[in-house]
Each structure stands twice: as structure tokens, then as C-alpha cells.
Structure 1
Amino acid sequence: MHKHSNIALALALAASASFAQAQSYPSKPIRLIIPFAPGGTTDIVGRGAADQMSRILGQPVVVENRAGGGGSIGADAIAKAAPDGYTIGISTVSTMAVNPACNPRLPFDPIKDFKPITNLANVANVIAVNPNFPAKSYKEFLAVLKANPGKYSYASSGTCGFGHMLGEQFKVATKTFIVHVPYRGAGPALNDVIAGQVPIMMDNLPSSMPFIKAGKLRPIVVAWNKRIDTMPDVPTFAEVGLKEPNDPAWYGLVAPAGTPDEVIAKLHDAAVKALQDKGFQERLRAAGAEPSGNTPAQHAAEIKKEFEKMKNLVKVQNIKLEQ
């Protein structure tokens, strides 16, 4: 009996210690891992969140860019960090769904190894073409592809990157055949589409938007819940009958699995407050992103849905990562 009461006491002490730790959290700087190089949409979202959360939490949130492996190096660093709330990271469709679906040998599991905090922002996706492409509307675009299987190619940010998956989803949904040309990032892919080397681009809208505004790319269809204000003539995938590709890309906040719930709650509250800052909202919208700020359970559901969808796509299209 005596032994059991000791165990109960030990458990009670451990519980109160973790509660006390959560109460005083954060008592030192927090590291925010961004799994891509500086300058992209992920970086805009991550740095904006870090600035605001530093102010709200009263401790510096220090950004660390850990690029490489299509985001998987940074994602693995988040998964392997101590689950104490002092290392968090940005989650993206690439790191939490596309990469793990394409490469089952990755050293982390997107569902088991992370504890979601919130989705910070959603981003629209776009299929755009070189202005010389022989189609002005989505209907014409589809007719040209159906009449010429295998003649046209599309550029993406890389094999098993987000654009590649959008292209393959589009092919499955429309029963068309276009050839994939992978690049080392959206930048070089866009350069070649603008130069006319490759006619079609599959992309997140923020990186293509400046070229669309300048008339160097023609948008054909977007993935978003409604038409985009600056492109009122461009239909959404849902409008043209393609429900699956219409989901937006998202940029969320996750902690390593095992991080205490009380800590997750504090981080969630700080992130939601951060998204209420007018300056941060304006920066996100200027980059083509829309603030979100949903619950941890909702972000967990988004991750799971996207991962299942990508696993299915990889199987159907027999997509292999080029080693």
C-alpha cells in the first residue's frame, strides 16, 4: 500500500511540476524553424508570426531557416526537438503531405511526430500559361490539351513539390496528358515559362502574381474558395467541376509531439492574437495569403486530409522521387 501512495505522490508532483512549467512558459527565447530558404511565402508567413508572437509572449521568437530536401530537413529538425515549447516550426503542404507521401523513407511521420498549433494562413494556387499559349480561357485550355495529348509540358518547383502534385491532380481529374518538367524551385521554373521554354506553370499564387500583374503570365484557373479580386475573370477549380484540386495551400504552426497541452494553448492564443495585427494581415494579403488562425484540432484535420489525398495521388500516378 505504502509503495502505491509513493507512486501516486510522484505522479502528483510530476503533474504539478509540468503545470508550473506551463504556467511560467515561456521563460526563455523560442526557436521557430522555417523549413525553406529566406524569401518565399513560407518565410513571409513565419517571420511575420515570429515578430508578433515575440511581442505577445514577452520572449524573443527567433527564426531559423533550415532549407533542403523540399522542406524535409527542417521538418525533421522540428520533429526531433525537445517537446518543451521552446522549438516550434512552420508546417506546409509540402512538408506535412507531399514529401511524406512521395518518400516513405523520410525520418519523420507527419501525423505522429507533430502536435499542430494552428493554420496561420491559406494561399491560393494557380495554373498559368505563357501569353503565347493558344488558349485564353479555361475551356479553350482544356480543349487544346485534350486535342494534343503529350504535346504540352508544365513546369513546377521540383519533383514531388507542390506544383508537381497540382499538375498530377489536374491530369487525373481532367484525363489529360501533359509532360512534367521539374525545376529547382519556383523561381527558375517561372523564368522558363515567361521565356517560352515551357508553356504551362503550376504554382502557389504569390510567386506567380507579380508576373500575372505584369502581363507576362496568363492565369487560367485558381484553387480558392471564391474568385480572386484582382483576377475576376479567372474561374476556380470548383467552378469548372474539379473539386479535389480546389483546396488551398496552407502555412501552419506545429510543435514536436509530446509538447504539453497547456503550452500548445498558450502558443495558439499568441498566434491567433498575432493574426489580428493589421500590419501583419496587410503583409500576408500583399503576398497573396489569407489569415486563418483555426484550432489545433482543425489544423490536425487539414494535415491528415492533405496527407491522405497525396498518398492516394502518388499511388494512382505512380510518382517516384528521383534519387
Structure 2
Amino acid sequence: MQRRRLLSAMAALSFAPGISLAQEGKPLRLVVPFPPGGATDITARSLQESLARILKQPVVLDNRGGAGGSIGMAEVARAPADGLTIGVATLSTHGVNPAVYSKLPYHPTKDFVGVTEIVKAPGVIVVNPAVLPVKDFADLVKYLKANPGKVSYATPGNGTIGHMWGELFKSSTGTSMVHIPYRGAGPAVNDVLAGQVAVYFDQVASSLPHVKSGKLKALAVSWPERLDVLPEVPTYAELGYKQANEPSWFGLVAPAATPAAAVDRIQQAVAQALKEPAVRERLAGQGLYPSGTTPKEFTAQIGSEIDKMKRVAAYAKIALD
């Protein structure tokens, strides 16, 4: 009897949240479903060092870009459910994609369990002032109406939140632009900087350094109030476009059958990391705002976001297959 109790206690210790002796020291693979350089990648790298220290195991980033994040998410969905693989879920991969694609290589709810939301991410519309010398949002709308279909806009890919924001902009303003999808925020920003495309829709984090340097001009952000990092830039709501004022988010998911103890362990590590001043400062400096939720809350959030994005897709008449 005493031996049985001892074994039970040891088993409980091994799988208790925050301890998980079976996983300590083994690499944790963090799949980022977009290329380096974008807001998704920035979020993951901002947490990487702290998570490795808290979890006492290496955290290895695995960028799997393409297809609006679908390639990376499919990789997470088919990974072993052993608590050693997680992925960065986004509003694109777990909201927009299910709303605009009838077929995906993963099921957004059945194939995953939510771990936690990490940050809220404001969106932004920027232009290359050397290509399109408009002075503000109203000036851009005026120019586009005078030149229908002659301006292109870049996004991190088909089915991304940037794509949704772009289509919402067009529907809301009654303008016409040509969509140029890329394989991630990094390549998209590079072409906008090079003048290959004039307008860009994505999270603030991807464009902020270039806005600060003057190479790109920000015209509006999707956030409840003006951002500390871009105080001179109005929100969409201020400009009369409340339907375009919703921010994006990034979180973590694990394969569906991952043990609850392993999920809780990672969630608690993220919560601890988000309390560290250096991490919060790093994220805020990129226009990313730490949040944090429980696995149950984040799983429910994903379901509600899919419903919301389906309504937006119907409103904007977006269907990609």
C-alpha cells in the first residue's frame, strides 16, 4: 500500500503543470507558420529565450511559411501529441483561413488544443511614399477612386488577416486595388520597400521599423485607441470605419491529443514569461500587446473567431477556392 502511494505521488509529480520531468531537457519545437521577419515570427522570438529558461529545455523555432499559414499549421496537426511540438496560431490560421477556404490540410478545432493567447496585434495600412505620395488616409481613398484597379496592395498571403483587412478596406471605401499575396510578412514588406507594390496591410510589428525610418508611411491602425508607438496615426474608428478596427492576435496551439498536464505546463511558462519586464518591453516596442489566457479560454476564443471571420468573409465576399 505504501509503495503504491509512493508510485502515485511520483507519477503526479512527473506530470504536474510546471514540472513535467519527462520533458525537461528535450527540445520543444515551436512551429512558426510564416517566414522570418513578420509579426508572428517576432512574437515567437520575443518569447524563445524566456521559455527555454523557464521550461528548462531548448526551444527551437521552425519557420514553415506558405499558403497563409496552412503549411505550418498542418505540420503541427500531424506532429506527435507528446508536448514537444507547439505552433503559433494566428487570426489568419484559426479564423480567416477556415472562413475563406472550403478545404484546408488541418481542421482548426478538431486537430488542435488551445494553449494560450500571447498578444493582441494592431493592424496597419502603410504606403511607400516614394511610389504613392499621399498625405493621409482620405488622400489615399481619393487617389484610388480616381485610379480604379491601377494600384496594387501586398499582404502576407491569401487568407491572411492582412488579406481580410485589405478586402474590408476596399469594401468600406468603395475603392478598387489589385491583391498581391506573398509567402509571409517579410517578403511582402521587402517588395513594398523596393517599390514593387505601393500599399501594404498587416500587423504593426512588421512595418513599424520602416515607418519609424520614414521609408513607409502609416495611414491608419486597427486598435481601440491611438498607439503609443504611432501616436500620430489615427485609428480606423476615428476615420469612420469601425468595421475595420478589429486587431489581430497570436497564440499557441498543440496537437489535439496532447496531455493536459503538458499543455498547462507550457501555458504557465508563457504566463510567467509575459510578466518579465524585458519581454513586455520587447513586445510593446514592436507594437504587440501581451495578453495571456487559459487553455480553455483560448480554445473557446478560436471557435468564436471562426464564426466572426465567416461573417466578415460573407460581408466582403471573399472565397479563395
Smaller-chain TM-score bracket: 0.7 to 0.9
Q: Secondary structure at the match of 1:311?
A: helix
Deviation digits for residues 188-219 of structure 1 (CA, Å, limit 9, x no counterpart)? 43344345443322122122112211222221
Are 1:27 and 2:22 counterparts? yes
Q: Which residue of 1 is the match for residue 65 of structure 2?
A: 67
Number of residue pairs the alignment of both structures matches: 308
- Match runs of 1:1-323 below 5 Å: 22-23=15-16, 25-28=20-23, 29=26, 30-131=28-129, 133=132, 135-321=134-320
Are residues 259 and 235 of structure 1, via their aligned partners in 2, closer, same or farther at CA, if it must alter by over 3 Å? same
CA distance in 1 between counterparts of 2:31 and 2:185 reads: 21
Matched letter for residue 62 of structure 1: V
CA distance in 1 between counterparts of 2:115 and 2:198 reads: 39
CA distance in 2 between counterparts of 1:193 and 1:66 reads: 22
Matched letter for residue 106 of structure 2: F
Are residues 260 and 243 of structure 1, via their aligned partners in 2, closer, same or farther at CA, if it must alter by over 3 Å? farther
The alignment's TM-score, normalised by the length of structure 2, stands at: 0.83
Matched letter for residue 202 of structure 1: F
C-alpha contact (below 8 Å) 2:68/2:156 kept by paired residues = no
CA distance in 2 between counterparts of 1:310 and 1:265 reads: 28
C-alpha contact (below 8 Å) 1:134/1:144 kept by paired residues = no
Are residues 75 and 211 of structure 1, via their aligned partners in 2, closer, same or farther at CA, if it must alter by over 3 Å? same
1:167 deviates by 0.4
Q: Secondary structure at the match of 1:50?
A: helix
C-alpha contact (below 8 Å) 2:94/2:306 kept by paired residues = yes
Percent identity of paired positions between Structure 1 and Structure 2: 46
Are residues 194 and 68 of structure 1, via their aligned partners in 2, closer, same or farther at CA, if it must alter by over 3 Å? closer
CA distance in 1 between counterparts of 2:22 and 2:163 reads: 42
CA distance in 1 between counterparts of 2:40 and 2:79 reads: 20
1:254 deviates by 1.1
Are residues 198 and 85 of structure 1, via their aligned partners in 2, closer, same or farther at CA, if it must alter by over 3 Å? closer
C-alpha contact (below 8 Å) 2:35/2:185 kept by paired residues = no
CA distance in 1 between counterparts of 2:236 and 2:133 reads: 20
Q: Greater CA deviation, 94-103 or 112-121?
A: 94-103
Q: Greater CA deviation, 263-272 or 94-103?
A: 94-103
CA distance in 1 between counterparts of 2:237 and 2:65 reads: 33
1:276 deviates by 1.2
Are residues 245 and 290 of structure 1, via their aligned partners in 2, closer, same or farther at CA, if it must alter by over 3 Å? same
1:18 deviates by 8.3
Matched letter for residue 15 of structure 2: A
Matched letter for residue 33 of structure 1: V
Q: Secondary structure at the match of 2:158?
A: coil
Matched letter for residue 134 of structure 2: A
C-alpha contact (below 8 Å) 2:37/2:186 kept by paired residues = no
CA distance in 2 between counterparts of 1:65 and 1:187 reads: 12
Q: Secondary structure at the match of 1:155?
A: strand
Are residues 112 and 17 of structure 1, via their aligned partners in 2, closer, same or farther at CA, if it must alter by over 3 Å? farther
Are residues 241 and 19 of structure 1, via their aligned partners in 2, closer, same or farther at CA, if it must alter by over 3 Å? farther
CA distance in 2 between counterparts of 1:46 and 1:194 reads: 24
Matched letter for residue 123 of structure 2: N
Matched letter for residue 180 of structure 2: V
Are residues 142 and 66 of structure 1, via their aligned partners in 2, closer, same or farther at CA, if it must alter by over 3 Å? closer
Q: Greater CA deviation, 274-283 or 79-88?
A: 79-88
1:16 deviates by 9.8
Q: Greater CA deviation, 236-245 or 59-68?
A: 59-68
Tell which structure's C-alpha radius of gyration is larger.
1
Matched letter for residue 228 of structure 1: L
Deviation digits for residues 90-139 of structure 1 (CA, Å, limit 9, x no counterpart)? 11122222333332221211122211111112222111123253532223
C-alpha contact (below 8 Å) 1:81/1:256 kept by paired residues = yes
Deviation digits for residues 240-267 of structure 1 (CA, Å, limit 9, x no counterpart)? 2323322222221111223333333222
CA distance in 2 between counterparts of 1:124 and 1:213 reads: 16
Q: What root-mean-square deviation, in Å, do the aligned CA atoms of Structure 1 and Structure 2 show?
A: 2.8
Matched letter for residue 255 of structure 1: A
1:147 deviates by 4.7
Q: Secondary structure at the match of 1:209?
A: helix
Are residues 180 and 39 of structure 1, via their aligned partners in 2, closer, same or farther at CA, if it must alter by over 3 Å? closer
